[in-house]
Amino acid sequence: MSGIADDNSSGLIIEDGGNLFYVCNPKKIRYKRQSFQCFCSDSEENLGTSDQERYSKTRDVSKFRTFTFLIKNEGLNSILCQVEISPEGVNWGAFGELEYTLSPGQMQPIVPQYFLHYARVKFKNKIPGFSSVIAIWFQGQR
């Protein structure tokens, strides 16, 4: 097998076993293996709901490539929950994120569709006067 460059160096002509092959734009291909340098996990448990909105811990998600909240209703009554995001930890909004109703025992993963610096989960009783207890897990990869 032998090869020669064509006139404008955009390819190679290779001879193999009496056959000629033209190889366009030969390039060295490098494969980069991805590895996750950090997996972070945190949870808040036994959070009581009320008729007023309550919030999970505020999390700085700016250094995470991907992250998810998982909310589990561990109490006896239905709850409402929704993820909120903020650029600076002061002005919060749902920005079209769904508000979920979780029945007792139900779990719901939530991944925000938009990215801002901070994220948290808002939650409250679905029916006024009927409190519940929830757990919130946060997991992220850098």
Q: Work out the average pLDDT over 11-18.
A: 71
d(CA 72, CA 43): 11
Residue in the structure block whose two tokens are 């009581």: 48
pLDDT for position 85: 98
Domain residue ranges of the chain, discontinuous segments joined by +: 39-141
Residue in the structure block whose two tokens are 């390819």: 11
Question: Structure tokens of 139?
Answer: 């997991």
CATH level 2 (architecture), domain 39-141 = Sandwich (2.60)
What would the pLDDT profile of 37-46 be if each residue is shown by its tens digit? 688 999 999 9
pLDDT of residue 123 exceeding 70: yes
| Global pTM value | 0.73
Contact 134, 123 (CB under 8 A): yes
